[in-house]
Amino acid sequence: MSSQQKPTLTGQRFKTRKRDEKERFDPSQFQESIVQGLNQTGTDLEAVAKFLDASGAKLDYRRYAETLFDILVAGGMLAPGGTLSDDMTCTEFCLFKAQEDMETMQAYAQVFNKLIRRYKYLEKGFEEEIKKLLLFLKGFTESERNKLAMLTGILLANGNISASILSSLFNENLVKEGVSPCFAVKLFKSWLSEKDINSVAASLRKVGMDNRLMELFPANKRSCEHFSKYFTDAGLKEISDFARNQQSIGARKELQKELEDLMSRGEPLKDIIAYVREEIKKNNISEQTMIGLIWSSVMSSVEWNKKEELVTEQAIKHLKQYSPLLKAFTSQGFSELTLLLKIQEYCYDNIHFMKAFQKIVVLLYKADVLSEEAILKWYNEAHLAKGKSVFLEQMKKFVEWLKNAEEESESEEEDAD
């Protein structure tokens, strides 16, 4: 059987690599398709959502995400600064041309929500779009800004975008011209109509925005008083209280750090006491709050031994040294009780200190920092649940001794009468 030659393909084959086929970025055709669809669906936002859902299969949303969001918000592609590009067809059916009320903005938020849930890859692009739109605020009319603020508040409440987008409002030009605080008021009103202040605060903290709200104002107006008045006058007392609270938390953290530094440098106690008194006056801090800070600072200013049997001895020596400082800021019964609760919490949270609790309390009683009234009140009713059985058992004998001593002094007074 003669072997036949296999047929061969003539001519040269060129293999086109995928990356060489990359088409030119040309959003005009994409814009035409989206605008046409929006003009057909009109103000029926249910129909708009369905159209966008179906179009994602035919159009390149991944590539033209910015164009898509520009059209849905402003009716067409936006040039830098926020003006509409003249050379392309635009639509009247967009967020900026919609009615300026919460109900309409909620319906628009749903359109974006459905779109992003359907095409998850648009999530990042959408957040970038909102950041960009906030930078363009000066290019928009007051009504357009209001609608954007309301929408952004709803999107933040729904968790569609992160509060990190607020960083755009700290842009120097927007701040200088007063655009940022004005926009923030509308945004927070919208957000708070959907969620409570605790939810808003949690979202801000998550991305470190909780301590940056003052940056909505120029440097010469960046004070707690100015911020508080501006937002309270605008009907947002919750935001003004939140900012005040954040500032006092910030001040307390700074104060604790400074105290720890003073202690580690071995500054004289009288100087530390004078510094603390000054801070109490300056920042309007209560003695109860202050004693908590002092306790934390005293306990953080030393490297503790890892062995349980040695740490008690070390703690007693250390606290003996700082008892005059603790005494200076426990002039009220409430402050003494606060200190007792802080000690209980500390000994519970730091396992090596579990057996040291009673010795610490007795030391501070002898040093006139804690009174028998405060100790008895703590023992009978005011203790925390943390390690309760262990600490009450430790204190049992000392409390009995205190009660007997009290009864003896009372009977001596009666005999004297």
Look up residue 187 and give its amino acid.
Answer: L
> How high is the pLDDT of residue 279?
86
Residue of 391 and 6 predicted with greater confidence: 391
Q: What is the pTM of this model?
A: 0.67
CA distance 99 to 103: 9
Tokens (6 digits) for 163: 């509060």
> How high is the pLDDT of residue 14?
46
> pLDDT by residue (tens digit) across 126-142?
999 999 999 999 999 99
Tokens (6 digits) for 70: 């520009």
CA distance 122 to 219: 36
> pLDDT by residue (tens digit) across 246-302?
877 777 888 888 999 999 888 999 999 999 999 888 877 889 989 999 999 999 888
Percent residues over pLDDT 70 in the chain: 91
CA distance 196 to 191: 8
Q: Does domain 266-415 have CATH number 1.25.40.180?
A: yes
Chain-wide mean pLDDT for the chain? 88
Residue of 97 and 23 predicted with greater confidence: 97
Please check the confidence at residue 81 and state whether its pLDDT lies above 90: no
**Mean pLDDT value across residues 176-198:** 96
CA distance 81 to 277: 52
Highest mean pLDDT among 8-22, 112-126, 267-281: 112-126
User: Tokens 């501006």 belong to which residue?
Assistant: 230
CA distance 406 to 400: 10
Confidence of residue 152 (pLDDT cuts 50, 70, 90): very high
CA distance 285 to 252: 9
Instruction: Say how many C-beta atoms besides its own lie within 10 A of residue 13's C-beta.
Output: 5
> pLDDT by residue (tens digit) across 203-251?
999 998 988 999 999 999 988 889 999 999 999 999 999 988 887 777 7
> How high is the pLDDT of residue 283?
76
**Mean pLDDT value across residues 51-56:** 93
> pLDDT by residue (tens digit) across 32-50?
999 999 999 888 999 999 9
> Dihedral angle at the C-alpha atoms of 216, 220, 222, 224, nearest 10 degrees?
-140
Give CB contacts under 8 A, 24+ apart, made by 191-194: 191/153, 191/154, 191/156, 191/157, 192/153, 192/236, 192/238, 192/239, 193/102, 193/153, 194/153, 194/154, 194/157, 194/158
CA distance 287 to 275: 14
> pLDDT by residue (tens digit) across 366-413?
999 999 999 999 999 888 888 889 999 999 999 999 888 766 665 555
Please check the confidence at residue 359 and state whether its pLDDT lies above 70: yes
Confidence of residue 10 (pLDDT cuts 50, 70, 90): low
SS3 state at 327? helix
CA distance 186 to 144: 12
> pLDDT by residue (tens digit) across 368-378?
999 999 999 99
Range list of β-strands (E), 40-176:
none
Please check the confidence at residue 21 and state whether its pLDDT lies above 50: no
Which of 138, 43, 46 lies closest to 92 in space, CA to CA?
43
Look up residue 146 and give its amino acid.
Answer: N
> How high is the pLDDT of residue 406?
67
**Mean pLDDT value across residues 86-99:** 87
CA distance 315 to 165: 47
